[in-house]
Amino acid sequence: MTATAAKETRAFQTEVKQLLDLMIHSLYSNKEIFLRELISNASDAADKLRFEATKDDALNEGDSDLHVYIEVDKDARTITIRDNGIGMSRDEVIDNIGTIARSGTKEFFGQLTGDQEQDAHLIGQFGVGFYSSFLVADKVSLTTRRAGMTKEHGVHWESAGDGEYELETVDKETRGTEIVLHLREEADEFLDDWRLKSIVHKYADHIPFPIRMLGVATPAAEGEEEKPAEIETVNQASALWTRPKSELSDEDYNNFYKHIGHDFEEPLARLHQKLEGKYEYSLLLYLPKHAPFDLWQTEAKHGVKLYVRRVFIMEASEDLLPRYLRFVRGVMDTNDLPLNVSREILQKSPAMDAMKKGATKRVLGLLEDMAKNATSETATGETESDADVVDAEIVGEDKTEKNTDYADFWNEFGNCLKEGIIEDNDNRERLAKLLRFSTTASDDQAVSLSDYIERMQTGQDTIYFITAESLAAAKHSPHLEVFRKKGIEVVLLHDRIDEWLTSHLTEFEGKKLQSIAKGELDLSDIGDNAEEDKKEQEEKAKAAEPAVEKIKESLGDKVKDVRVTDRLTESPACLVSDQFDMSSNMERILKQAGQNVPDMKPILEINPDHELIQRLSKMRSKDKINDYASVLFDQAILAEGALPEDPAGFVRKINALLKQ
């Protein structure tokens, strides 16, 4: 890198080089989105200035007319996008332009395949922002100065997208940012004023700041001079969420979502409501079709934006929606908070608490409508009083627009709702009804707990589940054998969060949830021949007592206990945890995470009908008994998805038994 005190040449971050290469090779057929992205950035800069100026009016520098200006120079073949927003300092330019300061970058590039259509879709999810300039430009110049800094702190940035950029300190009289695009030859269509205006109408009509362009000169009447073109505003320049629904089209809603959600796809569902009562506020919330790459990264910042009297205040705060609803995009706007609101004021504000509860209730209501009406295009909710939650009522018609069904939502964001079961005690019952699972009757994650209860067997009063490392491991667990025999459905849990989920969700609609791999299992009351089955099992347990004693003596302190079970029909043995002990799956998860786990010994349960157990009952050779007991124990460990303590020793014993 060569540098002076004011000018230097820097290399792009590796990820930026990759992204620029994709841009330059024109993965997108829809190149017009560059203007949407740059206007969106300019709007964000104006939002930030308007908010900061509520605390320090000097930042306005005598100019509070926030706007975006677009200028075309056909001779120079350039497009200029200029704003008078917050601007950037030299360090901010390096952080925001020289790098991709967004978590999930590694995962994003890891999913690129080289297939243009699929990669374009992925890039659209990721959001390319400023870098979309290189879809149409072979050189981009940026000049900026942060509000509140003096003119000599201007910064000039320039790059041809070739892996390097120049950075120079310059004088800039006005605050804000100016971007000049030097167009590629194949991008001549964007030198047409009408083409650019149509793009603004299509993608940025909702931007709450004027977007200005030079109009067309008025032809001169006979004997008069031609009137010069005047600057005109080419967008509505009003906050979309404040406009009546009757004035808004699906396209208006979808374009606003793409702006605020930095998404290239249409949303899965939306919710637009104005609520009045003790507190007055508006909600315009969206559910994305796909989860962002950084959904599970704790440092990721995305979510709902808070406006006060249409002035942007903050974004992605857990004061607006609980963390488990972080996938929701949109805005909340109220008149009941001061413009100079701080985090401390938010946390103590009854209005903010009411808005959060009300928005949470509405989002859950939206999901409930989707779950009930998965195949319908539009679900109409009830107009109701929110007195119990937010002391408000909906004004006008409440409609929830949907593009697809609940299954798509669940596949993308289901685990977030499971977080809600753990975190949100007030809404746990509502969230539990929204959960969907794989079961032994259906492995497509479409079964609700209510569905399960409707299909319960005669005499069954418990919801049975099993946790495992994968769906395959859960489906093939030996613990399921007796349940298959009796036709009892079992919920198959195979996500890591399920271990914590089941520790918080212990009951649903009066039915207890029970792990089939913990504690003693008694299915004797279920089925048509319950009494006969119970008597037969007692007889088998008595006959297997010699085997139980021999295995106990052989395994010693490796197990907490050895006992006969009726949960097995094909396997000779399985491991279970004591009722109040940690499950073996949870133990593995914590160990993999490097956590210290208390030493908890499992219980070995044996199948009295199995030939190996019956043979072991008659054995007298201590060595043979030890080998059989050890193999049974290690096999049970393998069936749990873990490895025996001595895998090589296990193999030797198996080979020795095979020879016999």
Residue 437 to residue 415: CA distance in whole angstroms: 11
* pLDDT value at residue 623: 87
Rounded to an integer, the average pLDDT of 14-21 is: 68
Return the percentage of the chain with pLDDT > 70, whole number.
82
Q: Between residues 4 and 223, which one has the greater pLDDT?
A: 223
Rounded to an integer, the average pLDDT of 219-227 is: 67
* pLDDT, tens digit, 9 for 90 and up, residues 254-288: 988 988 887 878 899 999 998 888 889 999 999 99
* pLDDT, tens digit, 9 for 90 and up, residues 600-620: 889 999 999 999 898 888 888
Residue 25 to residue 18: CA distance in whole angstroms: 11
b/e sequence 206-230, b meaning 16+ C-beta within 10 Å:
bbbbbbbbeeeeeeeeeeeeeeeee
Residue 102 to residue 300: CA distance in whole angstroms: 7
Closest CA to 607 of 645, 642, 636: 636
* pLDDT value at residue 120: 46
Domains of the chain: 7-218+227-233 (3.30.565.10), 240-431 (3.30.230.80), 436-659 (1.20.120.790)
- Average pLDDT, rounded, for the chain: 82
**Strands, sheet with 603-606, edge to edge from the N-terminal-most edge strand:** 561-564, 603-606, 573-576
481 contacts 567 by C-beta, under 8 angstroms: yes
* pLDDT value at residue 313: 78
- Residues forming beta bridges with residue 211, ordered by sequence position: 68
Query: Scanning the structure block, which residue is given the tokens 């629904």?
Result: 245
Rounded to an integer, the average pLDDT of 382-405 is: 42
| Confidence bin at 396 (pLDDT 50/70/90) | very low
For the ranges 79-93, 99-113, 176-190, the lowest mean pLDDT is seen at 99-113
For the ranges 165-169, 298-302, 564-568, the lowest mean pLDDT is seen at 298-302
* pLDDT value at residue 208: 84
Residues near 86 by beta carbon (within 8 Å), at least 6 away in sequence = 45, 46, 48, 49, 52, 59, 146, 147, 175, 176
Burial class (CB in 10 A: 0-12, 13-18, 19+), 61: middle
Q: Which of 237-241, 478-482, 534-538 has the highest mean pLDDT?
A: 478-482
Q: Is the pLDDT reported for residue 578 higher than 80?
A: yes
Q: Is the pLDDT reported for residue 1 higher than 80?
A: no
* pLDDT, tens digit, 9 for 90 and up, residues 321-354: 999 999 999 999 998 887 666 666 677 788 888 9
Closest CA to 604 of 563, 557, 550, 646: 563
* pLDDT, tens digit, 9 for 90 and up, residues 561-577: 999 988 888 999 999 98
* pLDDT value at residue 23: 61
Rounded to an integer, the average pLDDT of 522-542 is: 74
* pLDDT value at residue 642: 79
Backbone dihedral region for residue 490 (phi beyond 0: left; psi -120 to 50: alpha; all else: beta): beta
Q: Is the pLDDT reported for residue 381 higher than 70?
A: no
Helical (H) or strand (E) element with 437 = strand 437-439
* pLDDT value at residue 418: 95
* pLDDT value at residue 263: 80
Q: Is the pLDDT reported for residue 226 higher than 80?
A: no
Residue 117 to residue 131: CA distance in whole angstroms: 19
Backbone dihedral region for residue 395 (phi beyond 0: left; psi -120 to 50: alpha; all else: beta): beta
Q: Is the pLDDT reported for residue 429 higher than 70?
A: yes
* pLDDT, tens digit, 9 for 90 and up, residues 96-153: 775 554 434 445 555 555 554 455 444 444 445 788 888 899 999 999 999 999 999 9
* pLDDT value at residue 582: 77
Rounded to an integer, the average pLDDT of 219-248 is: 81
Closest CA to 270 of 319, 324, 329, 333: 329
